[in-house]
Amino acid sequence: MSSPAAPVQAAPPRPVRFGILGCADIARKVSRALLMLPPGVAAVAAVGSRSEEKARRFVAETGLPAARTHGSYESLLCDPGVEAVYLPLPTSLHVPWAMAASARGKHLLLEKPTALCAADLDAILAACDASGVQFMDTTMWIHNPRTAKMREIIADKDTFGDVRVVHSMCSFRASDDFLQNDIRVKPDLDALGVLGDIGWYCIRSILWAVDYELPQAVIAQRHPVKNQAGVLLACGATLYWADGKTATFNCSFLTNLAFDVSIYGTNGTIHVTDLVIPYEEKSGEFNVASKSNFVKPTIGWDPLPRKHVGFTDLPQEALMVQEFSRLVQNIRDAGGRPEGKWPTITRKTQVVLDAVNASIDKGCEPAEVAG
């Protein structure tokens, strides 16, 4: 009698091979995230910079000894061992290099703000679509399990009801050196200033809270603060929907660290005070109040707000890379199509940002939000 055939062993998953295009400080955080992922998910194949010396120094300092180094961005994009590109270059360089990456069939993880305006972003997204590559921006908190839990609560009509008001505040007190020399205050590098940097998070958090329903119009707050080069250092705006919903946000390089979001529904309220970067990278908390009322004779609240605390084995930046890699593997290994929700969410964030900018340019008059 013949012996039974040995079971066929499934091939281990092949990691997505990343190229890091540029050695910005934020790239160190994403490099660390890549190293934290389980085997078979992702690996850094190469790092490209404007000089090979800088690329080598980045590889050595971030613990990526197996990564090849390239002394130009073009050289990295021509590397056949790179399947996906993480692009943390200044915003003014996104269009040419994002389009060049997608034209070479490289999947694109693009640092936010993704573009200086929606027209530029549309060019990037069209190039990705033409090449059939996955696009995702780097709004990391979206991938935190805490975010999914908050979404679950907001979707519960009995607990939360309908969202009516949102307020978001993102700020940090920048140093004098930052305010003089950082790329985020240079009009030729990141002309959107604070609005593009952390205002992006404010706008995304508002859109997330209303399930990405675009507002009809925005009105920027008067007297935004700009530096001598005309780059925004502090600003804010109010967003308006046809059904009466409103949202406000403030973003600033001039006030103490804050990443607060408050979402007010007809039945409930959610408060989170560390949305963008959690106080601790493997846990996150938020407070929920539901069907609140006064204890008579107006001496307290009943029921009291509840604190929710969640835990995660991987920090949110690693979960972001893991999800992006999963989508790339589905395209590469299973013949799937790029996931369309990510470019859609990015574009909605961009058009609201554009409207805020337009309102500021018009002396804080109302600006319509493009569909």
* Residues 66 and 172 placed together within one structural domain of the fold: no
- CATH number of 249's domain: 3.30.360.10
With respect to residue 93, please indicate whether it lies within any of the assigned structural domains: yes
Instruction: Using CB atoms within 10 Å of the CB of residue 244, give its burial: 0 to 12 exposed, 13 to 18 middle, 19+ buried.
Output: exposed
What letter would DSSP give residue 253? S
* Residues 107 and 155 placed together within one structural domain of the fold: no
Domain of residue 91: give its range. Answer: 16-140+334-338
Amino acid in position 33:
A
Measured between alpha carbons, how far is 100 from 243 in angstroms, rounded to an integer?
42
At residue 66, the pLDDT reads 86
Measured between alpha carbons, how far is 293 from 81 in angstroms, rounded to an integer?
61
Reply yes or no on whether 291 is catalytic: no
Q: From first to last of its 371 residues, what are the pLDDT tens digits of the chain?
A: 455 555 656 667 899 999 999 999 999 999 999 999 999 999 999 999 999 999 999 999 999 978 999 999 999 999 999 999 999 999 999 999 999 999 999 999 999 999 999 999 999 999 999 999 999 999 999 999 999 999 999 999 999 999 999 999 999 999 999 999 999 999 999 999 999 999 999 999 999 999 999 999 999 999 999 999 999 999 999 999 999 999 999 999 999 999 999 999 999 999 999 999 999 999 999 999 999 999 999 999 999 999 999 999 999 999 999 999 999 999 999 999 999 999 999 999 999 999 999 999 999 999 999 87
With respect to residue 228, please indicate whether it lies within any of the assigned structural domains: yes
At residue 320, the pLDDT reads 98
Amino acid in position 134:
Q
Measured between alpha carbons, how far is 157 from 361 in angstroms, rounded to an integer?
39
Place of tokens 């046809």: 242
- What is the Cβ-side half-sphere exposure of residue 81, based on CA atoms within 13 angstroms? 14
With respect to residue 329, please indicate whether it lies within any of the assigned structural domains: no
Measured between alpha carbons, how far is 78 from 88 in angstroms, rounded to an integer?
18
β-pair partners for 268: 290
With respect to residue 157, please indicate whether it lies within any of the assigned structural domains: yes
* Residues 108 and 196 placed together within one structural domain of the fold: no
* Residues 185 and 233 placed together within one structural domain of the fold: yes
* Residues 179 and 69 placed together within one structural domain of the fold: no
With respect to residue 319, please indicate whether it lies within any of the assigned structural domains: no
- What six digits make up the tokens of 272? 């989170």
Sign of CA dihedral 312, 287, 206, 149: positive
- The pTM (predicted TM-score) of the whole model is 0.95
Query: Which secondary structure element, helix H or strand E, spans residue 308, and what is its range?
Result: strand 306-311
With respect to residue 36, please indicate whether it lies within any of the assigned structural domains: yes
* Residues 130 and 148 placed together within one structural domain of the fold: no
With respect to residue 245, please indicate whether it lies within any of the assigned structural domains: yes
* Residues 176 and 304 placed together within one structural domain of the fold: yes
SS3 category, 251: strand
β-pair partners for 48: 21, 70
- What six digits make up the tokens of 330? 């589905």
The rounded radius of gyration (Å) of the Cα atoms in the chain is 22
With respect to residue 102, please indicate whether it lies within any of the assigned structural domains: yes
At residue 10, the pLDDT reads 65
Instruction: Using CB atoms within 10 Å of the CB of residue 346, give its burial: 0 to 12 exposed, 13 to 18 middle, 19+ buried.
Output: buried
* Residues 45 and 181 placed together within one structural domain of the fold: no
Instruction: Enumerate the H helices of the chain as residue ranges.
Output: 25-36, 52-62, 73-77, 94-103, 118-131, 145-155, 176-181, 193-197, 199-209, 316-334, 341-361
The residue from 106, 112, 245, 348 that is catalytic is 112
Measured between alpha carbons, how far is 204 from 255 in angstroms, rounded to an integer?
20
- CATH number of 62's domain: 3.40.50.720
- What six digits make up the tokens of 151? 């979404």
* Residues 61 and 123 placed together within one structural domain of the fold: yes
Domain count across the chain: 2
* Residues 122 and 202 placed together within one structural domain of the fold: no
* Residues 283 and 239 placed together within one structural domain of the fold: yes
* Residues 81 and 169 placed together within one structural domain of the fold: no
